[in-house]
């Protein structure tokens, strides 16, 4: 299958909103609530659950459609209306976890081995530049280290906190028209900081291009700060002036008003993002001072049963470039056997390759 990628700008994405935005109807909401109650009665630990423990007979096809459209369509999908406002924090997490079981295989997102991550301002005194998701500051355009990212909104901010989405293929095509020399520089392997090997004496980076088009498949991996971090790593190749200018050009092009869509996620919104096709950012936000009303989302990374083959040049980043494989996330971090066994079970249920 040819997967050149559908390029879009802001107006085109708005124009096609009926193809990537779906609102749950009352029967689907009731089905989700029933699935949550079923999971609560079962009382299984998260790593022992399968999709059967969160039964969604009519919602599951919609979730699979969202995953497939994120891969083969625009790279973005949005389902609204999930019943989260009347849920306790524990119930909301179980609901998000149960939904995620129907999307693919959850992946490790940090050194703590978390598969379901809180995105909210934790008011840390000196957070890492790579942990903007636990602050209220803005986040620049980037992609996550997986095939698919999902974000379930539990509460929005009092002000700000808008998501910004841009098509990487559209950014690529615009750069190729306006400055082909910069665009072509991003087809060369660049050093990306690898946080899974962030200890002295190990190779703390890998080489990967930002853009690749091989075997009729387009893919991108863009995270400018990870490239800049390699400037201080022993043995990592330094960025050339043209590569640095090209990285800046990707970000500035994605930021153009006609290129990116700003979107406020509201409680009950579930956003799907294909990280090979779409980059995302976030505006700064201000939280409510009322207790329990702060901005809060739940994030998952997934390997999916419909993922694309990646270019060979992405092998150092993903470890496997075949379609439909258990790849992505930070698998270099130590994981206990229960987590690995859970991922293997779900991979088998989803028909992922070994």
CA nearest to 140, candidates 251, 295, 226 = 251
Q: How confident is the model at residue 3 (pLDDT cuts 50, 70, 90)?
A: low
Q: Which residues touch 190 (CB under 8 Å, ≥6 apart)?
A: 207, 208, 209, 210, 227, 237, 239, 243, 247
Is 100 or 110 the better-scoring residue by pLDDT?
100
User: Phi/psi at 139 (nearest 5 deg)?
Assistant: -125, 135
Considering the domain boundaries, does residue 265 fall inside one? yes
| pLDDT, the chain, mean | 94
Question: Across-strand partners of 153?
Answer: 297
Considering the domain boundaries, does residue 197 fall inside one? no
Considering the domain boundaries, does residue 22 fall inside one? yes
What is the average per-residue pLDDT within 218-238?
A: 95
Half-sphere exposure of 263 (CA within 13 A, CB side): 27
Three-state secondary structure call for residue 332: coil
Cα–Cα distance for residue pair 354/347, rounded to 1 Å: 8
pLDDT tens digit string along 182-198?
A: 999 999 999 999 988 77
Torsion of CA 278, 120, 45, 110, to 10 degrees: 60
pLDDT for res 6: 86
Give me the number of domains the chain comprises. 1
pLDDT for res 146: 97
Considering the domain boundaries, does residue 194 fall inside one? no
pLDDT tens digit string along 93-106?
A: 999 999 999 999 99
Domain range for residue 333? Answer: 10-169+251-349
CA nearest to 171, candidates 240, 241, 258 = 258
pLDDT for res 2: 46
pLDDT tens digit string along 75-87?
A: 999 999 999 999 9
pLDDT tens digit string along 263-276?
A: 999 999 999 999 99
pLDDT for res 253: 98
Considering the domain boundaries, does residue 313 fall inside one? yes
Question: Across-strand partners of 21?
Answer: 78
pLDDT at position 1 over 50: no
pLDDT tens digit string along 118-172?
A: 999 998 766 565 567 889 999 999 999 999 999 999 999 999 999 999 999 999 9
pLDDT for res 353: 86
Considering the domain boundaries, does residue 124 fall inside one? yes
Alpha-helical (H) ranges within the chain are: 10-15, 17-20, 26-42, 59-72, 89-101, 168-178, 180-185, 224-229, 241-254, 315-318, 337-349
Considering the domain boundaries, does residue 133 fall inside one? yes
Report the CATH number at residue 317. Answer: 3.60.130.10
- Between 40-54, 118-132, 321-335, the lowest mean confidence (pLDDT) is in 118-132
What tokens does 18 get? 């009926």
What is the average per-residue pLDDT within 189-208?
A: 85
pLDDT at position 112 over 50: yes
| % of the chain at pLDDT higher than 70 | 95
- Count CB atoms within 10 A of the CB of residue 179: 15
Considering the domain boundaries, does residue 237 fall inside one? no
């Amino acid at each position: 299958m040819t997967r050149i990628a559908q390029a879009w700008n802001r107006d085109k994405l708005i124009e096609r909103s009926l193809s990537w935005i779906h609102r749950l109807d009352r029967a689907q909401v009731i089905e989700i609530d029933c699935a949550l109650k079923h999971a609560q009665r079962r009382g299984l630990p998260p790593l022992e659950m399968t999709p059967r423990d969160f039964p969604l007979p009519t919602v599951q096809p919609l979730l699979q459609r969202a995953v497939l459209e994120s891969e083969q369509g625009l790279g973005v999908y949005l389902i609204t209306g999930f019943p989260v406002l009347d849920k306790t924090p524990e119930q909301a997490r179980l609901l998000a976890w149960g939904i995620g079981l129907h999307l693919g295989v959850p992946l490790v997102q940090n050194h703590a081995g978390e598969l379901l991550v809180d995105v909210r301002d934790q008011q840390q005194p000196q957070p890492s530049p790579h942990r903007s998701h636990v602050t209220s500051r803005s986040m620049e355009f980037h992609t996550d280290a997986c095939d698919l990212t999902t974000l379930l909104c539990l509460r929005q901010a009092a002000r700000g906190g808008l998501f910004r989405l841009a098509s990487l293929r559209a950014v690529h095509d615009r750069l190729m028209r306006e400055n082909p020399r910069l665009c072509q520089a991003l087809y060369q392997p660049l050093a990306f900081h690898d946080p899974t090997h962030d200890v002295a004496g190990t190779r703390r980076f890998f080489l990967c291009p930002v853009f690749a088009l091989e075997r009729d498949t387009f893919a991108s991996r863009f995270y400018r700060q990870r490239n800049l971090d390699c400037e201080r790593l022993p043995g990592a190749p330094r960025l050339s002036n043209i590569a640095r200018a090209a990285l800046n050009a990707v970000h500035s092009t994605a930021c153009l008003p006609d290129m990116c869509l700003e979107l406020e996620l509201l409680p009950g919104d579930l956003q799907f993002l294909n990280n090979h096709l779409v980059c995302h950012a976030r505006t700064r936000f201000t939280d409510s001072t009322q207790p329990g009303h702060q901005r809060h989302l739940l994030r998952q990374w997934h390997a999916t049963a419909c993922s694309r083959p990646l270019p060979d040049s992405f092998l150092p980043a993903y470890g496997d470039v075949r379609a439909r494989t258990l790849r992505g996330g930070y698998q270099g971090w130590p994981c206990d056997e229960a987590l690995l066994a859970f991922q293997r079970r779900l991979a088998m249920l989803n028909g992922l390759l070994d």
